[in-house]
Amino acid sequence: MLKSHELLGFMSPALANDILSFIFESDKPAYRATVAAVAEAKHVRPVFLERQPRDQRHATMLTALTKPNLDPAAGAFIRAWLVKKHAAMLVDFLNALEIKNENGVVEDLPTSVDDTKLKAAVEILLGKYPHETVAVYLNAFNDMNTAGWANLKALLKSDARLQLGNHA
């Protein structure tokens, strides 16, 4: 399955830029942490990136975040966006699976979920949210959680609506 850095590489540039802009505007600590991680990977001081025009800085950051060495930073970046901007989607998914959560955050995931419930939960998300956002969430959920549900992995591979990289 896709790692966080791969998700950023396969999603549309518009969505990647929207995520970065959202984090810039809404979560300064996460944005600063991302700038610091990119600066370290590029062997520059964060202030070097901060002094660049925002468009140039964001392009540099997004390119760097698609590299395997920045997967932890990319993961934190995507998680911050999902939890802060798309909590309703996370709650809808977990509630449909009857998994106890607090605003879309779960302490302990079950080791497996019923196929019928999983498919119904995915259909709820696809009917309510943009397909690319759902695909990013489910891929990130699958990658970042230790439960490793085989049926979710199979669904991500087989359902064309959950494929990333189909942008022009």
The pLDDT tens digits of the residues spanning 42-84 come to 999 999 999 999 999 999 999 999 999 999 999 998 999 999 9
Q: Is 55 exposed, middle or buried (0-12, 13-18, 19+ CB in 10 A)?
A: exposed
- The amino acid at residue 79 is R
d(CA 152, CA 2): 13
d(CA 149, CA 146): 9
Name the residue ranges covered by the structural domains of the chain. 4-85, 87-162
Q: What is the pTM of this model?
A: 0.89
Question: Residue 96 — very low, low, confident or very high, per pLDDT cuts 50/70/90?
Answer: very high
Q: Where are the alpha helices (DSSP H) in 103-166?
A: 115-128, 131-144, 150-158
Q: In the Cβ-directed half-sphere of 18, how many Cα atoms lie within 13 Å? A: 10
Instruction: Kindly report, residue by residue over 8-46, the tens digit of the pLDDT.
Output: 999 999 999 999 999 999 999 999 999 999 999 999 999
Measured CA to CA, the distance from residue 140 to residue 153 in angstroms comes to 11
Return the SS3 of 19. Answer: helix
